[in-house]
Structure formats: C-alpha cells, structure tokens
Amino acid sequence: MKIVIRKSVSSDLGFLEELEQKCFPPFQQSTRRAIRYSLSSPFQNVIIAETTQNEISKTIGSATLFLYPKTLRLFSIAVFPEYQGKGIGKQILEYIFNLANTGKFERISLEARKTDNKLIEFYKNAGFTVTEDLPDYYSKNEDGVRMVFKLGDHAEKQSISNIIIVRDPKNWNLEIEGVKVISSRSYITDPEFQSLKNVRIFNLSNSYQYQKMGYYVSLLASARDHRVIPNVTTLRDFSSLSLVRSISGYVDDNIQKSLKHVKQKKISIFVYFGQSVNTKFRLLTQKLYHLFEAPLIQIDFVKTEKWMVQRVSPLSLKKVNPEHMEKVQEFAKNYFSKKRFNRPRFKNYKYDLAILVNPQEKNPPSCPNALQNFKKAAEKIGFYVEFITKDDFSQLPEFDALFIRETTNVNDHTYQFSRSAYAEGLVVIDDPWSILRCSNKIFQNERLKQNKIKTPATVILAKSTYHKSTSLQLNFPLVLKQPDSAFSLGVEKVNNEEELDSSLKKLFNLSDLVVVQEFMPSEFDWRIGVLDQKPLYACKYYMAKDHWQIYDWNTESNENYGESETLPIEEVPEIVVKTAVKAASLIGDGLYGVDLKMINEEVYIIEINDNPNIDEGIEDLILKDEIYIRIMKSLYNRIEINRNIAQFVTV
C-alpha cells in the first residue's frame, strides 16, 4: 500500500488521540495535552501517514520525533490496527531515515517495551541495535530497552544533491554522479522527494505557465526549501518586459558589442546551462545567464536605434530545438562537473555561506585578516564557507546565505547579487532594501525627519528649480552630497556662494537632486555598529590630518584617514547608542554602521551605512573573535527561523 507522508497540523489532534488509544496500552499513551504540545513544539516533529482510497484521503498512521543537536529520537510510531502488516510502518521508518540523513543527525534513538519481541525484531531488521536496558521505564515492572541506529555506520547518506526534472526521463540520456533525473509528477507526489533536504532542483518541465506542472514544481520546491531554478519569482520576472529590460540594462554594453555585426533586425540566442551553441556569443551568454537564471533560456533581441531585449523565455526540454539536444547534454555535463557542490568535503556543515568580496577593491569593508576571521567563525557555527566574486553570480542558488563584504552600490553587481539571492530564498546581509535605503541620503533624511531624529540642518535642491538666487536659509560652510553617496565619497564642502554654484553644477550632472547640509565641525564622529537592532560595537573615527572628513580621498598618502578609537558599548554616552539603534531600526534589522556627532550634548545623525567596516584591530578591538561570531550567528539564526527550526544559536 502506497502512502503519502506530510507534516502534522493542529486539526490532526483528534486523530492522534484516537491513534494513541487504539495502538498503545494505557501506561504508554500520551495525554491530549502532551499531543497538543508536540504539534506546536519547535523541538518536535509530528508526521502523518495518509493513504488514498476512491480518491478520498484517510489518515492511518503517525510518528513523533524529538529533535536534538546530534540525535533524532523516535518517540513513537503507530499505525491503525486494521492497516498493520501492510508495510506502512516500514515506509514511515524510511521517511525518518531520509529526514535524519538530510538533517545531518549522527544517530536515531528510540525506546521500546522489552517484552514486545515483535517490535524489537522490527527495529533490529531495520538496523537498530539494543544499547541499554531501562528498568521500570514505562511503569513498575514494565521495562524498556534503548535502541540506536548510527547513521555514520549503517545509513546510506543522501547521494542526491542535484535533481533535473523533466516530463519524461526516458527522453534524457544523462548519467552524472550526484545528479538524478526524475519526472515532474514524481517530484510532486513521491514521498522520497518531499523529505529530501539541501538539494537543488533544475526544473525543465514542459510548461511554466501559471498552474501548469512546471509552475507547481518550482512552487513546491520553494515550499520544501529546495534550491530551484527557475524559481517562481524568476518566472514572474520573465513575464514583465519592463523588468526584463531594466535588468538587461546591466549588460547593455556587452549586448551592443556582441551584436554589432549582426545584419538582421532580430535574433534569438539560446542559453543552455550558461552556454551558447554559437561560440561568438559565449561571453554575452554568460552575462545573460547571470541575470536570467534558468537552465534553458531563449532570449530574443530586436534592433531599432540599438539592440534591445524583446523577450526572455525559459524553455522546457520539449521546446528545445532537436538539433541542439546533443549540445544541451554536453553543456549539462560540463555544468554539473564544474560546480562547487560536487567537490568533496572533509566535514559536514549544516548550511552553505557565500561571502562576496572584491580582491581588487582598494578600501574594502573588511581586510583580508578580518575575512579569514569571518570564515573561522562561520565554520565554528556550522557553515561551509566560500568566498565568491562578481563572476560567480550563477552559483548563488548553491548557498543558504550571502554575506556581502564588498562596498555596495545600488547601481552595480552588489545590489544585483543581493536582490537575486533574496529572491532565491537565501538569507542576505546586506539585504536589497537596506542597500537601497542606505544608498540614498534623500530617503534617509526624510525617514529620520519623520521620526524626529536630529540631523544637521538640511535642504534638498532640485536641478529643475534651483537658481543662483535661491535662498537656502542655511549658514556656510555647507556640505553637498549626492543622494547615493557613502563613506565620504560624493561629498563636497563649500564655503561660499561661488563654491556652492560650482559644486552644484557638477553634482546636477550626476543627479537631479542634491542634499545640502550645514557643516558641523567636530574632532571625531561616532560610529555605532548595529546588528539585529542591537548595538554591536562603538568607535570614534577622528578626522584625517588637515582635513574635514574621516577619509581624505584627494590624497594617496598613507595618512588619508584619521585615527580610530574603539570603546566598550557601556562607555559610550547612552543617548548616542539609543539614537543609533533607533535610526538603524528605521532601515531594517541587518548590519549597519551609524555615524553620529555629539555637539553640546545633542546627538545628530550624519548617515546610516549598510556594509559597515569590520576590520581586524579596529572594530574588533573590544569584542575580538566574538564580533565575528555574533554576525555569523545572526545569519545562522535567520536561516533557522526561515525554516522553522528552533535550534537557535544563542549569543
């Protein structure tokens, strides 16, 4: 008899109570209160077995599991008496084995009545061994035994890490280690695939249209926490021409260069697993695949004044040109043989973390030693860590979290990485909305003003309405900022009307709006690092030598930045810390660096930065390794929360 196994819901309470009464003697039965707790407890997992007869589903069995850090404890397993002896208990147990393997537990343990020889034999046949006698375990004179299944010794570890889904696997002649080809229907209905974890789904179903099989494959994959391409968000993006053209703008130069010798006014490029059958378009194909990630894509271009993307269509296997099928097979083999997820590991980690860096960046947010400290901390928490660069965009679906340690900008690949990672279901720091909000000083000024947080006196000037005669009602000197300036870049100081007009003329060529603030001189700026809406570190950043900013971008000397002083949070004026946390909370709950000035006991927000500096010997001076641990714990806990696993790492 075939069964379907699902997670329990609160309405299963009555069924579970009846099952207890029919399957266990009174001294073994769980109370209604205990069952209700099991259904809601984050430390337990109750699964339900159903069978279908005459198109009507009937609940017939269950198992209750306790989740410990290394042990999965099988508290109970039960099947209605009339369905016993039909192999249902074995199917439930197989599901539990898959759950334990994919959850990276080291062992499964259980207790059984010592006198129940049939049950003990059932577990022994499944590979369990008796490890301990338990006198009077259930009640007086009702002894028990503890049995253990050691996964490292007996279990076949989950060998499937990548699944290609097609309508009919017979039409796909591909054999690669770690890659399984199955049908769309099997993925949707087979319990084996419902219980798998940490797998990647490559959806090549026949149709991606709303409520068609391919759509449901991507939808269910997301619900199962499987990495899937294309995901539902990507499918929706493909249907919006304005969004497609907006995204393709990132590689417009590559499009024009690659297609400039094409004579016709229309052309289609086919992208199969990141490669093209036409070698002339190899580089463009890779760029496009990074933007529109799907296993098989057709991209249509049309030329008017210049080449434009007309349509991006994910392709099912059925829609691939038969003449291309041999190349599709070849590209798939290359793709999977080169991907990071097929590399051997010497240790099992629960989650995969990508840290985005730019080795060529002159002033990165973390120095090389700090990056290694992040890596060590992440591995200690339970992450497999890999440093990636902007060329590794296609690898994003392979990870569970993305940590950006490259200076972010809404107009470059860092925002693209953040946006795409978030759409893929990854936990991201810096998340896309934090990048958007922190990169725009106009948003920040309005947000702070609405929440009555002090800033230097500010006005916003518009290119279309500003004239030399405009009265700003501000006192010189003034500080002019591009709306998307950060870390002192794109910021100018002017001392009089002439300098103001000159600087505005330059800045208005870059932006229709310019932020103008009164200059507030100070010996240093406070920087309060904020994580999860709590203070993380505190620094005083002193002004660069003979300069009005912390960084002097106009000099290349080794003294282009001022000294710094790191203090324990408790030694910082309370109003500074409270103001910083309040301001950061208006942006989000990520990792921020809030710059403030304290003048005459009044605190003013200068700016809020996503992607703040964490450098060895500066920001980590007080907390040492703990600062890296806390940030990694935040990422880890966000994944756990997203997946409803309450095994959080406490600080």
Residues 6+ apart with CB under 8 A from 500: 476, 478, 480, 494
How far is C-alpha 90 from the geometric centre of its chain's CA atoms? 36
Of 12-26, 240-254, 313-327, 517-531, minimum mean pLDDT range: 240-254
Q: Phi and psi of 139, rounded to 5°?
A: -170, 180
Is pTM beyond 0.75? Reply is: no
Cα separation, 408 vs 439, whole angstroms:
8
Cβ atoms of 71 and 106 within 8 Å: the answer is yes
Cβ atoms of 427 and 396 within 8 Å: the answer is no
DSSP code of 475? Answer: P
Cβ atoms of 606 and 456 within 8 Å: the answer is yes
Bond before 430 cis per omega within 30 degrees: yes
- Outline where DSSP puts E strands in 117-252: 129-139, 142-150, 162-166, 179-183, 200-203, 227-229
DSSP output for 220-255 = HHHHTT-EEES-HHHHHHHT-HHHHHHHHGGGHHHH
Distances (CA, A) of 303 to 28, 268, 278, 282, 308: 75, 12, 19, 20, 6
3-state secondary structure of 61: strand
Distances (CA, A) of 211 to 32, 220, 615: 39, 12, 49
CATH H-level, domain 522-634: superfamily: ATP-grasp fold, B domain (3.30.470.20)
Whether the predicted pLDDT of 56 surpasses 70: yes
Whether the predicted pLDDT of 647 surpasses 50: no
Strand-by-strand arrangement of the 383-388 sheet: 383-388, 351-356, 401-404, 427-429
Q: Are strands 296-303 and 351-356 parallel, antiparallel or unpaired?
A: unpaired
Of 212-226, 327-341, 459-473, 547-561, minimum mean pLDDT range: 547-561
Whether the predicted pLDDT of 280 surpasses 90: no
Q: What is the mean pLDDT of residues 201-210?
A: 78
Q: What is the mean pLDDT of residues 252-268?
A: 89
Tell me which of 437 and 632 has the higher pLDDT. Answer: 632
| Region(s) of the chain under CATH 3.30.470.20 | 522-634
Q: Considering only CA atoms, which of 471, 465, 445, 469 is closest in space to residue 457? A: 445
Length of the chain: 651
Whether the predicted pLDDT of 393 surpasses 70: yes
Cα separation, 258 vs 267, whole angstroms:
12
Cα separation, 600 vs 605, whole angstroms:
14
Cα separation, 186 vs 201, whole angstroms:
13
Whether the predicted pLDDT of 635 surpasses 60: yes
DSSP output for 360-394 = T-SS-SS-HHHHHHHHHHHHHHTEEEEEE-GGGGG
Assigned CATH for 4-154: 3.40.630.30
Q: Considering only CA atoms, which of 492, 499, 570, 500 is closest in space to residue 537? A: 570
Whether the predicted pLDDT of 613 surpasses 70: yes
- pLDDT attached to residue 526: 94
The two three-digit tokens of residue 53, written as one number: 């007869």
| Region(s) of the chain under CATH 3.30.1490.20 | 457-518
- pLDDT attached to residue 610: 93
- pLDDT attached to residue 174: 65
| Local confidence band at 560 (pLDDT 50, 70, 90 cut-offs) | low
Looking at residue 174, its amino acid is L
3-state secondary structure of 281: helix
DSSP output for 578-615 = HHHHHHHHTT-SSEEEEEEEEETTEEEEEEEEES----
Whether the predicted pLDDT of 533 surpasses 90: yes
Cβ atoms of 606 and 525 within 8 Å: the answer is yes
Q: What is the mean pLDDT of residues 571-585?
A: 96
Q: Considering only CA atoms, which of 62, 48, 46, 65 is closest in space to residue 107? A: 65
Mean pLDDT taken over the chain: 84
Kind plus residue range of the DSSP H or E element containing 123: helix 117-125
How far is C-alpha 513 from the geometric centre of its chain's CA atoms? 33
The residues pairing with 611 across neighbouring beta strands, listed in sequence order, are: none
Topology classification of domain 457-518: Dna Ligase; domain 1 (3.30.1490)
Residues 6+ apart with CB under 8 A from 1: 51, 83, 86, 87, 88
Cα separation, 615 vs 566, whole angstroms:
12
145-181 in b/e form (b: 16+ CB < 10 A) is bbbbbebeeebeebebbbbbbbbebeebeeeeeebbb
CA neighbours within 13 Å on the CB side: how many for 323?
3
Tell me which of 56 and 592 has the higher pLDDT. Answer: 592
Using one digit for the tens of pLDDT, what is the confidence trace for 460-500? 888 877 777 667 788 888 988 877 755 455 688 888 888 88
Cα separation, 225 vs 299, whole angstroms:
29
3-state secondary structure of 83: helix
Q: Are strands 591-599 and 427-429 parallel, antiparallel or unpaired?
A: unpaired
